Structure 1
Amino acid sequence: MYVPLFASDPDVIPMYLAVFAVMTAVWCFLGHVLLKWPPLVAKVERYGHYVLPVVLIAIGLEIPSGFFSH
């Protein structure tokens, strides 16, 4: 999500935006398909509110240490 903001070559920003839009649509579609599967729906409804904060915190911790450190 941050790549278009930090792109050094303005000519490639449309490509970044297109890839971002397509991949966002793919992930949304996969989420929609997976949550139509009854056994998974039951698990998400039961444990989702516990798992989501852990996942978001892990992503937040990984971004500074993994993606932008060279």
Structure 2
Amino acid sequence: MNNDIAAGKWKQMIGKAKAAWGELTDDELTKAEGHLDRLAGLIQERYGKTRDEAEQEVKRWFDAHRPIDD
């Protein structure tokens, strides 16, 4: 996972993240600022997953929704 890419394109990706993890609030997603470790922590807490499960889920999601440079 590349936190720099996620952080740089995060505003474009928030809608897709909200669709994937609807229990996370817009404020939580905004505060994550594209830091995938923070996103994994939120998912772990909200959905009761292990840290490893949350990290793997975020990695798969990011790989599927990787922002394309303009």
TM-score by length of 2: 0.29
Give the structure, 1 or 2, with the largest relative contact order (CA under 8 Å, sep 6 or more): 2
| CA radius of gyration, larger in | 1
TM-score by length of 1: 0.29
Higher share of residues assigned helix: 1
